Each structure stands twice: as C-alpha cells, then as structure tokens.
Amino acid sequence: MFDIFDIYLLEALINGVLLGGVLALLALGLNLIFGVIDVVWICYAELIMLGMYGMFFLFKIYHFPFLLAAVICIAGVGVLGVVLHLLVIAPLLGAAPINQLLATGGVLFFLQSAATVMFGIDFRNLGIRLPVLEVHDMFISYARLLAFGAALAGMVVLYLFLSRTYTGTAIRAIAQDRQIMPLMGVDARRIYIITSAIGGALAGLAATLLVLQYDVHPFIGLTFGPTTFMICVLGGLGNMVGGFVASFVFAEIISVGGLYLDLEWGYVFAFGFFIAMMFAKPQGLLARRA
C-alpha cells in the first residue's frame, strides 16, 4: 500500500517538474516583454494558440517535416509579436500603462474569435502519439520530456543571448533605465521590436511543444493564459529568475494536488496558493523587503 502511494507521488512530482519546464518557458516570454517594454500582453496565450494551429496545418495538412514546421512556426509567431507591437503597443507607448494591457485584451478577443471563424471550434491534434516511458512502474510521457528539454534549451539560449551579445546587453540595459539608454545611443524602438520578436518566438516555441500534448481549439489560450500571468506575478513581473522558480512551484502544486483530487482542484490549489502568496510576498517570491 505504502509503496504504491509513494510511486504515484513520485510520478506526480516528476510530471510536475516537466510541466514546470513548459510553464517556465511561457512565463519567460511574458516576463521578457514586461521587463523591457513595460507592457503585459494579455493575449500572449492566444499567440501560442495561433502557433499551435500553424503546427497543425503545416504538419498535418501540408505534410511538412516536424522540425521544419516547428522552425516556420517559431519564426511566424515571432513576426506576429512584432506586428502586435507595431500595430497595438507602439501607438500606446505614451499612454497610461493600463491602456496597453486593455488593448491587448482586445487583441485576445480578436484572435480568439478569428480562430473560431477561420478554423471552427473542433478540437484538432497532430495525430502523433509519442511513446510513454516506463521507469519502475512510473509513466512519463515522451512529449513532456521533450517539451521540458526544449524549454530548458530555449532558456539557456536566451540567457546566453542576453548576457553575451551586444543586442542582449542593450535589451537588459533598456529594462533597467528607459530614459538614459536612448541617450547612450541605443535605439529603443529597435530594441522593442527585437524584444517583441523574441517574446513571440518564445510563444512559438511553446506552441510547438504544447501541440504534442494538447489538442488545439480556439479557446485553448484560456487554459494557459491565467496560469502564465499568475506565475509571472508570483515570481515578480519582469523578474525572470523569480518567474522560473515560480513555474516549478506552481507546476508541483498542480501536479500533486491533481494526484489527490481532480486535476481542476490542482489548479484551484495553485491559484489559492497564489492568493496566499500575495499576502506574504506581494512583490514576488524572490523580492527582498524594501
């Protein structure tokens, strides 16, 4: 009896870590954009939804090889990020911050229903069933393992880019001081566009990984969106390390809570934890009290 219980718990913990990797990737894109441009893309999860549809059409309908389709999707969502920035965010950069958030809320509505109109409300999937790894009676899906690995790789690449290249340094500098950096010869507009492209590409990467585990439908964004925002706030908006830690904490709560009750209650617990943490650490998990 006790053995069985333990194995299930361990399986839940491992799945939690794997889920955490993907959530961390989602949070990373949103945090990057918030940290640099100081806007919240409420429609971030809808970009992922479009990426997932892109994967579905390229792979399933037009029979592109998986990797090629993934590259096209990542680039495509990156371009979408730039378009979103130029059309919606750029005209509002001087407006009250809350207006930018609400405008992307409008984009959320728009993308969701555009997907409904274009693709219908059917659930679609790639039809790839990756094998399930069985270790000591624990079942761990390859799709999750792959997603975890790719998410970590994506984060390492981003870290190297931000810390080793000139553009990356400029991005971090802008995030620290928006007024001074343009005086130092950094073109803020260009940096914003690059950041939006990277943020979009991260959403695209997440899409190519999530499409292996979930069916696509126009409202799938509502599944990931709130969780992603909560993780970002929990970690401290714009704080990438905090977001990273928060993703794993969140994923473990969802996974272990889901083990004892339904998966939905796992989410409820995680959300409850979020509220509780707002009392204890309102500026984010890793914040130091000022």
12, 147, 206, 237: residue in contact with another protein (rule CB under 8 A): 237
Give the 3-state secondary structure of 117-174.
HHHCCCCECCCCCCCEEEECCEEEEHHHHHHHHHHHHHHHHHHHHHHHCHHHHHHHHH
Of 279, 66, 26, give the one whose Cα is nearest residue 151: 26
Residue (126 or 286) nearer to another protein, CB = 286
**106 is a site residue for another protein (CB under 8 A):** yes
Q: Closest CB to another protein among 70 and 245?
A: 245
Torsion angle of C-alpha atoms 194, 195, 198, 199, degrees rounded to 10: -150
Smallest distance from another protein to CB 96, Å = 7
DSSP structural state of residue 42: T
Stretch in the footprint of another protein (CB under 8 A) among 91-99, 133-141, 163-171, 191-199: 91-99
CA–CA gap between residue 212 and residue 39 (Å, rounded): 30
Binding string, residues 14-53; x marks residues near another protein by CB under 8 A: --------------------x-----x-x-----------
Number of residues that bind another protein (CB under 8 A): 49
Q: Does 97 bind another protein (CB under 8 A)?
A: yes
Stretch that binds another protein, among 50-58, 72-80, 90-98, 158-166 (CB under 8 A): 90-98
Instruction: Please report which residue ranges of the chain form alpha helices under DSSP H.
Output: 2-37, 44-55, 66-84, 97-119, 142-164, 166-176, 180-183, 188-210, 221-235, 240-260, 263-280
Per CB under 8 A, 86 contacts another protein: no
Residue 28 and residue 240 in contact, taking contact as beta carbons nearer than 8 Å:
yes
Q: CB nearer to another protein: give 39 or 191.
A: 39
Query: How is residue 280 written in tokens?
Result: 């204890």
Does position 105 interact with another protein (CB under 8 A)? The reply is yes
The stretch near another protein (CB under 8 A) out of 12-20, 66-74, 134-142, 232-240 is 232-240
- Rule CB under 8 A: is residue 110 a binding residue for another protein? yes
Using alpha carbons, list the distances in angstroms from residue 43 to 5, 49, 70.
Answer: 40, 10, 21
Rule CB under 8 A: which of 249-278 touch another protein?
262, 264-265, 267-268, 271-272, 274-275, 278
Strand partners, 121: none
Binding site for another protein (CB under 8 A): 34, 40, 42, 88, 91-92, 95-99, 101-103, 105-114, 116-117, 218, 222, 225-227, 229-230, 232-233, 237, 262, 264-265, 267-268, 271-272, 274-275, 278-279, 282-283
